[in-house]
Amino acid sequence: MDIAPPVAPDAAFAEIDRLMARGAAFFGTRYALLAGAMSWVSERHFVAAISNAGAFGVIACGAMEPHHLDAEIAGTKALTQKPFGVNLITMHPRLEQLVDTCIAQGVSHIVFAGGIPPGSAIKRAKEGGAKIVCFAPALALAKKLIRSGADALVIEGSEAGGHIGPVSLNVLAQEILPHITDVPVFVAGGIGRGEAILSYLEMGAAGAQLGTRFVCATECIAHANFKKAFLRGAARDALPTIQIDERFPVIPVRALQNAGTKRFMEHQAAVLKRFQSGELAKDAAQLDIEHFWAGALRRAVIDGDVENGSLMAGQSVGMVTREQPAAEIVAELVGQAAAAWAARRLS
């Protein structure tokens, strides 16, 4: 029986570099790893730390006004010379002004999230010299986004934290990666170790996006209580919110269960009862349900209210076991991928 010759660690890391080459070149980074934009978490200190570690940091614009985003970009530039991007929510009422802010600040990559970006915003961003990254929840939409001007795609499975779609990354990767080769495709959702990253790279992914795994970076400004909730959490604790009546749709949000989650179910039931009694019109009832979580993420991340706030977390939360510098997390992920590749060669 032939035994494969020993693989030197350098050869393993070289192979990871080869697999990540396209994604790393796209972002201009050492590694094809990006930190998913997380509201109240992905601010200047966190983003700069990720980029300085050789990955790609992304500012979460969220509901910021253009002048706030301008200050955040400037603050990030003061902390890193490395590339970073900005995540813009397509539903923002001043989306095109936010694009202009990014262009004026020389942001190299704009990530559009929360829906299909309007063609005018994509055109404005590309004319300003930015590369465009979009989220594709299905193959048909992936092709449409590329035709619209997307320079790269992220396919995010339902294992992710925050607002999620209905399909797992395992399925999305099989559906999309073999068929989309003209732009880099990055995988996201439930990724917490380098071995998983390696498997998706070998399937054709250009790199990976991680969010939950980076929340307990020492440079992350999240409240100590928020980080402790992640350190205690297990995959089974990160569950999506549930709607109790199809007439009042609730976009699923994956988060660690707490008292607030339970109250949300009770709130939906109470609003439904008021609607059925004629006390509330349908539109008012829907708005009431949607406003329940208003400010809840900030209460948890910034104020540390982990009982009443929203603890958005992906199912990879069980792999977050300690607080570490961002550079150590990145090195650990790449090291795990290289070790997995080397072990396979030796078996």
Taking the C-alpha atoms of residue 119 and residue 240, their distance in angstroms, rounded to an integer, is 31
Coil, strand or helix at 324 = strand
Residue 26 pLDDT grade (very low, low, confident, very high; cuts 50, 70, 90): very high
pLDDT over 70 (residue 13)? yes
How is 90-146 classified by DSSP, letter by letter?
A: TT-TTHHHHHHHHHHTT-SEEEEESSPPPHHHHHHHHHTT-EEEEE-SSHHHHHHHH
What tokens were used for 345?
Answer: 């060669």
What digits encode the pLDDT tens for the residues 39-65? 999 999 999 999 999 999 999 999 999
Query: How far is CA 173 from its chain centroid?
Result: 16
The pLDDT confidence band at residue 90, using thresholds 50, 70 and 90, is very high
Rounded to whole angstroms, how far apart are CA atoms 99 and 121?
Answer: 7
φ, ψ of residue 6 in degrees (nearest 5): -55, 145
Alpha-carbon distance of 282 to 344, in angstroms, equals: 58
Asked if 101 contacts 72 with a C-beta cutoff of 8 angstroms, the reply is: no
Average pLDDT, the chain: 95
Phi, psi of 269 (to 5 degrees): -65, -40
pLDDT the model gives residue 8? 55
Instruction: Give the rounded percent of residues in the chain with a pLDDT score beyond 90.
Output: 86
| Residues 149-156, mean pLDDT to the nearest whole number | 98
Band the pLDDT of 7: cuts 50, 70, 90: low
- Tokens 């979009």 identify what position? 134
- The whole-number pLDDT of residue 211 equals 98
Which residue bears the tokens 């991928």?
A: 337
Consecutive H or E run containing 238: strand 238-240
Domain 9-221+320-346 has CATH 3.90.1110.10: no
Place of tokens 């994509």: 122
Q: What tokens were used for 178?
A: 């073999």
Domain span(s) for CATH 3.20.20.70 in the chain: 9-221+320-346
pLDDT-wise least confident of 2-6, 10-14, 313-317, 326-330: 2-6
Least confident of 5-14, 162-171, 311-320: 5-14
Query: In the numeric block, which tokens belong to residue 344?
Result: 């396979």
Q: What is the pLDDT of residues 173-230, one digit of tens each?
A: 999 999 999 999 999 999 999 999 999 999 999 999 999 999 999 999 999 999 999 9
How confident is residue 1, by pLDDT bands cut at 50, 70 and 90?
Answer: very low
Backbone angles phi, psi at 3, to 5 degrees: -115, 130
For 175-184, b where at least 16 C-beta lie within 10 A, e where not — what string? Answer: bbbeebeebb
Look at residue 294 in the predicted model and tell me its pLDDT: 76
In the structure encoding, which two tokens stand for residue 76, read together?
């990030």
Residue in the structure block whose two tokens are 């989650």: 261
Span 279-301, average pLDDT: 88
